[in-house]
Amino acid sequence: MIPIANPVIRDEEKQRVLQILDSGMLADGPEVRSFEEEFAAYCETDHAVATSNGTTALHAALHAVGIGRGDRVLTTPFSFIATANAIRHTGAEPVFADINPETFNLDVGVVESILQNRGEELDAILAVHLYGLPCEMDQLTELATEYDLTLIEDAAQAHGATYDGQRVGSIGDVACFSFYPTKNMTTGEGGMITTDDPGIAERAARFVNHGRTEKYGHSTVGHNFRMTSIAAAIGRVQLDRLPEYIKSRRQNAAVLTDGLDNSAINPPIEPDNRTHVYHQYTVQTPDRDKLKSYLAENDIGSGVYYPTCMHEQPVYDDISHEATVGERAAEEVLSLPVHPEVSDKEITYIVDILQQYE
């Protein structure tokens, strides 16, 4: 079976972990600070704050920009539920806006319509760069400025993606990344916040470390959302290899897209001003279950990301919504193997099998 995901961990990561274990400094420390500095440099931001996972990065970033009880944050209904959960963890409430049927990201027209009718009720926009494709950040930035909203990037799936040549993570007021094992780079579990604002960075760093201002001095209530030195050691090696991983994903995606030309299966798109990093290569077809079964019969793994929109989850059934495009996507999307461990022979085989699909 060709798996839908396969984390790449090589001898270099193992050696770096052993060095950390031998040092005895396993928790947050200099290794984490180095990873923060290197990741900020990669994203071309002034600051980065490491966290224990992508969800805690979102939670801490929302807290750091002042989102709290009674606030409302506009976001997509079509993403992993952590996006909405992080909003609710702060005491705020998500407001769901439907998605663009071609990109699966926020539909800017829908966002603008909501702002025109409810702009005074909203406090922030949380834009998810789903599957590794950046949102329409120029228009979202203009809307955020016009309505005096904070713009937050959920870049959990988009390490290294660009919009008009600018790296995601450096466009909004603050951004968040995940280093879960299946992401384009991993630390095992881990997250990162990036920003150019020193105040946001300081508040986030304090929040993830018990509100600490000195060893036993705590000015605010916080959490233990810290990253370990073990995770940071893995992350530093993975960050060095990220360009290689992106190149491999994009090459595999190009072969799949060429193979699906004139097919009833709709491949993902890549607008001219964006670089897609293909955390997932997500196609769309009306009979998704049939295609999934067909692939499994031919030893090809696939995945559904995501089968249920967030507003349809029981935890959010108290929120009114209208997201027909997102609901249709949830019924029709299917992700195919595109990760760096998919060989040339395997990607050719996947294309051959897809071309025989009826």
DSSP string, 69-84: TT-EEEE-SSS-THHH
Rounded to the nearest angstrom, the gap between the alpha carbon of residue 295 and the centroid of all alpha carbons in its chain is 26
* Residue at 6 is within a domain: no
Residue 76 lies in a domain: yes
310, 224: one domain: no
Q: Is residue 343 part of a domain?
A: yes
Kindly report the backbone phi and psi dihedral angles of residue 50, in degrees, each rounded to the nearest multiple of 5, phi listed first. -80, 145
**Which token pair is 284?**
């769309």
Q: Is residue 5 part of a domain?
A: no
Q: How many CB atoms lie within 10 A of CB 261?
A: 8
- What distance in Å separates the CA atoms of residue 7 and residue 346, rounded to the nearest whole number? 17
Same domain, 290 and 198: no
We report the CATH number of the domain holding residue 201 as 3.40.640.10
Q: Are residues 120 and 231 in the same domain?
A: yes
Domain extent for 310: 242-355
Give yes or no: residues 105 and 146 share one domain.
yes
Does 82 share its domain with 154?
yes
Half-sphere exposure of 123 (CA within 13 A, CB side): 17
358 residues of the chain, pLDDT tens digit each:
999 999 999 999 999 999 999 999 999 999 999 999 999 999 999 999 999 999 999 999 999 999 999 999 999 999 999 999 999 999 999 999 999 999 999 999 999 999 999 889 999 999 999 999 999 999 999 999 999 999 999 999 999 999 999 999 999 999 999 999 999 999 999 999 999 999 999 999 999 999 888 778 888 888 999 999 999 999 999 999 999 999 999 999 999 999 999 888 999 999 999 999 999 999 999 999 999 999 999 999 999 999 999 999 999 988 877 899 999 999 999 999 999 999 999 999 999 999 999 8
Distance, CA of 83 to CA of 137 (rounded, Å): 18
Long-range contacts of 287-293 (CB under 8 A, 24+ apart): 288/331, 288/332, 288/333, 288/334, 291/265, 291/334, 291/357, 292/334
Give the domain-ending residue among 186, 204, 237. 237
pLDDT of residue 15: 98
Token pair listed for 16: 């770096």
The domain boundary, picked from 182, 208, 237, lies at: 237
Q: Are residues 262 and 347 in the same domain?
A: yes
What is the identity of the amino acid at 322?
E
Shared-domain flag, residues 82 and 165: yes
228 and 249 both lie in a single domain: no
| Domain-embedded: residue 351 | yes
Q: Is 51 among the domain residues?
A: yes
Give me the DSSP letters along 276-314.
---SSEEEE-TTHHHHHHHHHHTTB--B-S-SS-GGGSG
In a domain, 255, yes or no: yes
CB-hemisphere CA count at 13 Å for 334? Answer: 21
Whether residues 202 and 339 share a domain: the answer is: no
Backbone φ and ψ for 28, nearest 5 degrees, come out as -55, 135
Overall number of domains in the chain: 2
Distance CA 263, CA 305 (A): 21
Distance of alpha carbon 204 from alpha carbon 195, whole angstroms:
10
Closest by Cα among 74, 127, 182, 130 to 306: 130
Which among 190, 212, 237 is the end of a domain? 237
Claim to verify: residue 218 and residue 295 sit in the same structural domain: no
Residue 326 and residue 283 share a domain: yes
Token pair 């073990």 is found at 230
pLDDT at res. 322:
83
User: What local confidence, expressed as pLDDT, does residue 68 receive?
Assistant: 97
Q: Are residues 227 and 250 in the same domain?
A: no
CATH number of domain containing 263: 3.90.1150.10
User: Would you mind telling me the total number of residues written for the chain in this entry?
Assistant: 358
> What tokens appear for 346 in the block?
């395997």
Q: Is residue 70 included in any domain, yes or no?
A: yes
Helix (H/G/I), strand (E/B), else coil: 343: coil
